[in-house]
Chain A
Amino acid sequence: MKVFLTLLIALFLFIGEALNSQAQILVNIHRLDTLFEPEKRPDYRAFARGSKNEIESTFSTMFLFYKKFISSQDIDACVFEPSCSVYAIECIHHEKNKMVVFMKISDRLMRCHGLASPKSYKIDKKTGKYLDAIED
């Protein structure tokens, strides 16, 4: 009896598959729809939001202008992640000690060169660049 039942169910497992494959061979074909979708250009507007005063909004506008019309024409030269311009705008928006904002930015610009040593930074696995956020 048990042997019979087991065989019956095994048969069911098989028949299920067989029926399925007769109905449609290329199941799940729609999961491939987004496979070769072109990558979207990065959107930097999020970094420019949340300005608290006129100075910040001026810099935000300058940042967006730079990203749109100047940086887009540049070679991929920055060695850091986030890039120097994003670092600068984040510094202007989020750094609590306003005295050091421009010191931090100019220090960062001086550190951004091809000789930067991998010993001093952690490496971002996705982009292969050095990680250097404003917090640390």
Chain B
Amino acid sequence: MNWLIKHVLIFLLITNFFPVKYSYGQNLNELVLFSNVQYEHGNFELAANEYNRALFFGYKFEDRLSLKIANCYFNLNKLELSEQFYDRAYFSTNSDSIKTEAVLGKSFSLILGKKFILALTELMNLDTLSINNQFIKLNFLKGIAYFGLHQDKFAEACFFRCVKGFTDREGKVEIGEDFVRIRKAERRFNPAIAWRLSLILPGSGQVYSGNYMEAANSSLLMAGFAYLTVNIAIEYTFVEALVVASSFFQRYFVGGANMAEKLTLERQNKERNNSFLSIMKILEAADTKNSSNSN
């Protein structure tokens, strides 16, 4: 028995001298469990802190922890840090699924920062996805990025694929209608037409864009400048009138046309925003329907 005690004591001594890797194991597990709970409850800063600790002290799954930290920062709206950790997750993993998650997460961060081209280049790396969920997410993000770049055809196709993933037939029709509305608005409020109209007759471009106050403003101002020019020309010479008033005349003439152009674009963007919100609602509804079906 003495022999046994002696060996056990030696064993304990050795483990005491090499505590780091050996003893953290259980501890880190508890830490990650704790962080998971915090994450579930929405305490993202605390969760990020403790995940970081686990990561630093050598928890085995660096990729999964990085992904979690990135999600925390995403939820805290610290987009740069979240991108940093999505990258870390991407480069530390061998699993395709986690790689995809990391790319999707990073693109979402980039989209929130309105960096649509960067987001698209990230998403282009993911071509064929076997998991349906990731396929839906990919097309969702791609659609938004294309929408932000005004590539409506591609955006529409991506949103269609997204709805297809949810197996929702009605949604497809509704999204199609939304894009029809956008195209209608683009045809109805054509900035080039508004600009040219205003050059022909000041204020007419504003009427075309449906903004009558601006139209009155522009035409009154131009009438005022015309009156001033004529008045100076009568009182002095035509050349002097041209020198004094023509620069103003030219500026406000072009300025009015630019304004008409801007107003039509504003109308278009308003319509785009409304349609975008409607598409998001449709997708969300399809999502909830899908999840309740699968449960």
Contacts and interface: CB of A to CB of B under 8 A. Distances in A.
CB atoms of A and B under 8 A apart anywhere in the complex? yes
Contacts of B259: 72-73
A35 B112 contact: yes
A26 B284 contact: yes
A2 interface: yes
Contacts of B240: none
A15 B218 CA distance: 64
Question: Helix, strand, loop or mixed for chain B's interface?
Answer: helix
A25 B134 CA distance: 8
A35 to B, nearest CB: 7
Contacts of A16: 36, 40
A56 B67 CA distance: 58
Interface in B177-233: 214, 217-218, 221
Contacts of A12: 33, 36
Main secondary structure of the interface of A (DSSP, over half): helix
B60 A25 contact: no
Central interface residue in B254, B255, B266, B284, by most chain A CB within 10 Å? B255
A29 B32 contact: no
Closest 7 CB pairs of A and B: A74-B255, A75-B255, A2-B25, A36-B273, A38-B269, A9-B29, A26-B287
A6 B36 contact: no
5 contacts: A13-B68, A28-B74, A28-B108, A69-B221, A75-B251
B120 interface: no
A24 B291 CA distance: 6
A26 to B, nearest CB: 5
B254 A75 contact: yes
A31 B61 CA distance: 29
A10 B76 CA distance: 24
A22 B291 contact: yes
Contacts of B252: 73-74
A14 B61 CA distance: 11
A75 B217 CA distance: 15
Given A9-B32, A13-B32, A75-B251, A36 B269 contact: yes
Contacts, number: 98
A37 interface: yes
B249 to A, nearest CB: 12
- Considering residues A9, A26, A29, A73, which has the most beta carbons from chain B within 10 angstroms of its beta carbon? A73
Interface size class of A (residues with CB under 8 A): 20 to 34
The residue among B29, B256, B270 with the most chain A CB atoms within 10 A of its own CB is B29
A21 interface: yes
A23 interface: yes
Contacts of A9: 29, 32-33
Nearest to B270: A38
B36 A25 contact: no
A10 B217 contact: no
Interface in B114-148: 114, 133, 136-137, 140, 144, 147-148
Contacts of B36: 12-13, 16
B283 interface: yes
A38 B273 contact: yes
B272 interface: yes
A5 interface: yes
B144 A35 contact: yes
Contacts of B217: 69, 72-73
